[in-house]
Amino acid sequence: MAVLVLADHDNASLRESTAKAVTAAVLLGGDVHILVAGLNCAPAADAAAKIDGVAKVLHAESPRYEHMLPEPLAVLISSLGPSYDALLAPSTTTGKNVMPRVAALLDVMQISDMMNVLAPDTFERPIYAGNVIETVRSRDAKKVITVRVTAFQAAGQGGQASVELLDAVDTPEISTFVSEELSRSERPELTSARIVLSGGRALQSRENFTKYIDPVAERLHAAVGASRAAVDAGYAPNDWQVGQTGKIVAPEIYIAVGISGAIQHLAGMKDSKVIVAINKDPDAPIFQVADYGLVADLYTALPELETELARIGI
Amino acid sequence: MKILVPIKRVVDFNAKVHVKADGTGVELSNLKMSINPFDEIAVEEAVRLKERGVATDVVCVSIGPAQSEDVIRTGLAMGATRGILVTFDGELEPLAVAKALKAVADDEKPDMIFLGKQAIDYDCDQTGQMLAALLGWPQGTFASKVEVDGSDVVVTREVDGGHQTVRLKLPAIVTADLRLNQPRYASLPNIMKAKRMPIDKKPIESLISDTAPRLEILKMAEPPHRKAGVKVASVAELVSKLRTEAGVL
Ligand SMILES: Cc1cc2nc3c(=O)[nH]c(=O)nc-3n(C[C@H](O)[C@H](O)[C@H](O)COP(=O)(O)OP(=O)(O)OC[C@H]3O[C@@H](n4cnc5c(N)ncnc54)[C@H](O)[C@@H]3O)c2cc1C
Ligand SMILES: Nc1ncnc2c1ncn2[C@@H]1O[C@H](COP(=O)(O)O)[C@@H](O)[C@H]1O
């Protein structure tokens, strides 16, 4: 048995989600290989070779792979299909974009957002916004899987895999990259932060996120998240959205401020270790999942929290 | 230009689902069913292109039981021009849905197919990408902006780090994300009109022969419920509990 993991990277570096997908791949059994496809992505390939449990890194270079466009990438990955029993990618927007395309080319039904390996053909995955967990057994000879990264620890460092260069596969140019606008933030990354502080509709403006959320996030070294309502209203960028259709997070502390706790929001954060809710409505559904609830107006509670953290030296 | 919009009938996003006592599935009998929210956004985008004169035909297609006619009529009331119901009783997996939609596309020859990014029942997020692969078309998934430019479509996508814009040669697949648009409410006269519009009906067997699931569902279960914790009286108490009781600060 051999398993291929599609690396999540930005050419210059490898994202932590790759090492988490490797942990899932190891549970399937057999040799684990990583595919790093990109342009000038040798640094990412070298980083992949150092992940524990990886036997080989396949390094494919082409301008076509620079932005991980799914049309050329799916052809490359499916061309490797015959050598593997399972093909995995972390459930990032890239993995979600590319892997179903691979699955269809291989005539396989994908297992999306896999959160637990029960056997090499049997898995758990969340459905209905995480309100139900289904156990499925795949009848396909080959498995194509996207991995819910919050469900797996990152594999360690210390591996010494060989790196093999792979030729690009020629494909018609039906798609081209135009541009990207990536939000820059000093804050830790949302999906890997130890503490996440999220704001909802009650924040009322982008300025209030800066004025009320930022100082507390700063003290806690927290990543900042948001509800869909806050993002839709333009108070926060889209990549901050936590939930069923946004990011899935599972930090040690999740602090929801002015968020009501709709199931679509809970779907993205209810596996957090400790949940704190600050809401002025004592009946807000968020309190049903919160370990610590504070019924208060956020406009007084957040400045108080900042002062209290400062007082105790955090 | 013709746009095909596949729409799925799903449990309403407000309904609370429960697993059947024997763990074989979800109890759906008394739950409100609606058009998948992302598909409503896809219909809205297609109808706007029609209103701007870019598209002429907006064809809604749903695969499912007879009641799926309702969600097609929702699309027609919003301004779609035609409906196709592919009848199938039971749950069809994205791979089979994509194959059936490919057969519809081979027949209809649309210039674009707008799908939802994911169906909120099984949360698969696969069908659009699979259909693109089967047709050999480019795909613009998780779209927050769609602009037709001659023989191309330019799609801005919501990605983990922010936004990405790609240019796709038509024909192409687009899957709608939440912020692509705010779907309209259909007016009463349009709802009435949609009731009388004809819908083509065909059984799934006329499109694909293999509908057998590839994933065998062994069990469904509700995840462990989080217990509500305690209410704290002040910020100071909150911080102190996080430090001493939870030990996380
Ligand atoms: C298909 C679909 C997908 C979705 N996906 C997501 C998703 O991924 N993520 C997501 O978050 N949502 C998602 N939603 C939306 C979700 O259903 C809710 O509408 C949304 O989460 C509500 O955001 P909110 O809690 O910020 O706003 P509201 O529900 O309006 O809640 C605001 C809260 O703030 C409190 N409040 C007001 N003023 C104050 C104050 N001064 N101090 C303290 N508290 C105050 C109120 O009591 C209230 O509880 C989705 C919906 C659909 C249909
Ligand atoms: N049975 C169906 N009939 C019509 N369209 C569907 C069906 N199932 C899925 N789709 C389309 O595919 C999208 C993604 O669904 P999924 O891959 O199941 O998450 C949906 O938003 C619909 O646009």
Give tens-digit pLDDT for B178-207. 999 999 999 999 999 999 999 999 999 999
Contact B11, B28 (CB under 8 A): yes
Among all ligands shown, which has an atom nearest to the Cα of A212? 1
Smallest CA–CA distance from B164 into chain A, residue: A180
Counting one residue from A and one from B, how many pairs have CB atoms under 8 Å apart?
245
Q: Write out pLDDT tens, residues A73-95.
A: 999 999 999 999 999 999 999 99
pLDDT of residue A45: 98
Angstrom CA distances, A226 to A196, A198, A209, A258, A266, stand at: 10, 5, 10, 10, 12
Among all ligands shown, which has an atom nearest to the Cα of B10? 2
Q: Which of A10, A13, A94, A109 to mutate to test the interface with B (most CBs of B within 10 A)?
A: A109
pLDDT of residue A1: 80
Alpha-carbon torsion, ordered A90, B224, B117, B124, to 10 deg: 70
Hey, where are the domains in chain A?
A: 2-166, 190-311
Pocket lined around ligand 2, Cβ cut-off 6 Å:
B 6-8, 36, 38-39, 62-64, 92, 94, 97, 115-116, 118-119, 122, 124-128
Give the ipTM.
0.96
- Give the residue, by CA position, lying nearest to ligand 1 atom 19: A229
Residue A307 pLDDT > 90: yes
Smallest CA–CA distance from B129 into chain A, residue: A101
Is-same-fold flag (A2-166; A190-311)?
A: yes
Smallest CA–CA distance from B234 into chain A, residue: A294
Q: Write out pLDDT tens, residues A127-166.
A: 999 999 999 999 999 999 999 999 999 999 999 999 999 9
- Give the closest of B162, B216, B249 to A137, CB-based: B216
Q: Mark yes or no for CB contact B95/A103 under 8 Å.
A: yes
Ligand 1: residue of A227, A238, A288 to mutate (most ligand atoms within 8 A of CB) is: A227
Q: How far apart are CA A132 and CA A126, in angstroms?
A: 6
Looking at residue B70, the DSSP 8-state letter turns out to be H
pLDDT of residue A184: 81
Write out residues 38-97 of A within 8 Å (CB-CB) of B.
67, 69-71, 74, 92-94, 96-97
Tell me whether B125 touches chain A (CB under 8 Å): yes
Mean pLDDT calculated for residue range A236-251 = 96
Q: Write out pLDDT tens, residues A6-36.
A: 999 999 999 999 999 999 999 999 999 999 9
Residue A213 pLDDT > 90: yes
Q: Mark yes or no for CB contact A97/B141 under 8 Å.
A: yes
Residue A290 pLDDT > 90: yes
Q: DSSP H helical segments within A10-166, as ranges?
A: 16-28, 42-49, 70-80, 93-105
| Angstroms from A211 CA to nearest CA on chain B | 18
Residue B26 pLDDT > 90: yes
Closest among A195, A275, A261, A273 to A228, alpha carbons compared: A261
Q: Class of the A2-166 domain?
A: alpha beta
On chain B, the residues whose CB falls within 8 A of the CB of A107 are 95
**Cα radius of gyration rounded to whole Å, chain A:** 21
Smallest CA–CA distance from A303 into chain B, residue: B235
The neighbouring-strand residues paired with B163 are A181, B158
Global pTM value: 0.97
Residue A312 pLDDT > 90: yes
Residue B7 pLDDT > 90: yes
Q: Write out pLDDT tens, residues B51-82.
A: 999 999 999 999 999 999 999 999 999 999 99
A229 token code pair: 């309502």
How remote is the CA of residue B96 from the centroid of ligand 1, in Å? 35
Q: Class of the A190-311 domain?
A: alpha beta
Tell me whether B141 touches chain A (CB under 8 Å): yes
- For the CA of B5, the closest atom of ligand 2 is 23
Q: Write out pLDDT tens, residues B209-242.
A: 999 999 999 999 999 988 889 999 999 999 999 9
Write out residues 191-210 of B within 8 Å (CB-CB) of A.
none
Percent of chain B surpassing pLDDT 70? 100
Q: Write out pLDDT tens, residues A105-126.
A: 999 999 999 999 999 999 999 9
Q: DSSP H helical segments within chain B, as ranges?
A: 37-51, 69-78, 94-108, 127-135, 188-196, 235-244
